Chains A and B, each alone.
Chain A
Amino acid sequence: MELALDRPKVSRATAPAAPPGRISDGELLRRIASRDRDAFDELYARYARPVLGLALRRLGDRERAEEAVQETFTAIWRSATSYREDRGPGGPWVYAVARNAIVDRFRTRGEPVAEAPDTADDARGPAERAEAADVAWRIHRALTELPATERAVLELAYWSGLSQSEVSSYLDIPLGTVKTRTRAGLAHLAAILEEEDLR
């Protein structure tokens, strides 16, 4: 899907409404640097699935992808002191650590094997797969910043195949609320991604 892989033309960046009380990734990394275990668990909760998704798409092998996730978070725990908040937000730093761990897995085990059948698109070449992996990373990471109410309706609509009426029934909320949250969720995602592009 070519359109999906193009980066948006950024004309504005509306500040996304972060969930109340959410600590920034950069602040979490700063706390991890001072050995705050709770901060580490919070960062893991935010990033473990996006990192695993990125590794699965890049490596095409579940075992190596899981190793890459472990190595990524080991490196974050070990190296959080090298993160400098004044040089940028925490998300791209985590991405860089994850990418290094994935590249290391590449080097140590030779060529990648076929991707798991629930995530693979074998018709794509390495460049397209890498680009698709980056798109998935950006979306999955941005989703972690959404309020849970908006994230839930998007996940059910996009990845569970439920219609808006079914989402309404499943979550036991009015259909109008589902539509409002869907639009708001998409708008927040757009703002998060645009803000990311401006950095």
Chain B
Amino acid sequence: MSGPRFEELVEGGDERLRHVHDMLVAAGPPPELPPSLAHAPGSEPESRVRLMPRRRLGAALVLAAALALATFGAGYLVSARTGPDAGFAEDFALTMQGTSAARGADATLLVGEIDEAGNWPMEMTIRGLPTLPQGQRYELLLTRNGAPVVSCGTFVVDGETAVFLNAPYKLRAYDGWVVTRVGQKQALLRTAEI
């Protein structure tokens, strides 16, 4: 279990604080809530809590995503064939929100049409992530069950930054993207499910 060294955080030994430090390192971060759990069950102030069965809820989310994508696609068809800055034909777009480890950060991910070789070109615009020390980088990864699985490339930022990346994978095998610091598991930015 890795984490910061106690001596680097707190000057002067204090077993009481060290114990809490060890617990924080052992616990790791609490998981981010998926979109399906973003809000408390039930929506009407006076309603009884009635939950949609998980499978129906999943189907509803897929349907909602499909409708959103169709709406987006229709808008796309009547507008330009390429994104404003991407330089490639845009297939769909997603937003990424900062997790508790990067509150206030966000990103836009424009995903281009897949090429003949199987690459999905992407342009990501990142806002609110801190500039990293020399030699350190961020990484965009596809997730499965919310966990990072395969890399779509690394990058650095300096203020609002746009980078071009690539996903040479079958996107249907994954459920989203996260941004981490290279070598760390904690997600800093996360998309909704795709």
Chain A interfacial positions (CB closer than 8 Å to B) = 1, 3-6, 8, 35, 37, 40-41, 43-45, 48-50, 52-53, 56, 62-63, 66-67, 69-70, 73-74, 77-78, 116-119, 121, 132, 135-136, 138-140, 143, 152, 154-164, 166, 169-170, 179, 182-183, 186-187, 189-190, 193
Chain B, interface SS category? loop
**Residues of B contacting A160 in the complex (Cβ-Cβ under 8 angstroms):** 101-102, 181, 184, 186, 188
B161 to chain A, nearest CB (A): 15
How many of chain B's residues have a CB under 8 angstroms from any CB in A?
56
Interface assignment of B119: CB less than 8 Å from any CB of chain A: no
**Residues of B contacting A49 in the complex (Cβ-Cβ under 8 angstroms):** 30-33
A135-B23, A164-B9 given as contacts; is B28 within 8 A of A159 (CB)? yes
Interface assignment of B16: CB less than 8 Å from any CB of chain A: yes
A34 to chain B, nearest CB (A): 12
Interface assignment of B21: CB less than 8 Å from any CB of chain A: yes
Is B145's CB under 8 angstroms from A62's CB?
Answer: yes
B135 to chain A, nearest CB (A): 14
A156 to B181 Cα, complex, angstroms: 12
Nearest B residue (CB) for A5: B26
Is A73's CB under 8 angstroms from B41's CB?
Answer: yes
Is A155's CB under 8 angstroms from B49's CB?
Answer: no
Is B147's CB under 8 angstroms from A4's CB?
Answer: no
A176 to chain B, nearest CB (A): 11
Is B22's CB under 8 angstroms from A3's CB?
Answer: yes
Interface assignment of B68: CB less than 8 Å from any CB of chain A: no
Is B37's CB under 8 angstroms from A52's CB?
Answer: yes
Chain A, interface SS category? helix
Interface assignment of B36: CB less than 8 Å from any CB of chain A: yes
Is B37's CB under 8 angstroms from A135's CB?
Answer: no
Contact with A along B5-28 (1 / 0, CB 8 A): 000111100001101111111111
Is A116's CB under 8 angstroms from B26's CB?
Answer: no
Is A157's CB under 8 angstroms from B4's CB?
Answer: yes
Which of B22, B28, B36, B184 contacts A161 (CB under 8 A)? B184
Is B26's CB under 8 angstroms from A69's CB?
Answer: no
Is A70's CB under 8 angstroms from B37's CB?
Answer: yes
A1-B25, A135-B27, A189-B20 given as contacts; is B101 within 8 A of A116 (CB)? no
Is A183's CB under 8 angstroms from B181's CB?
Answer: no
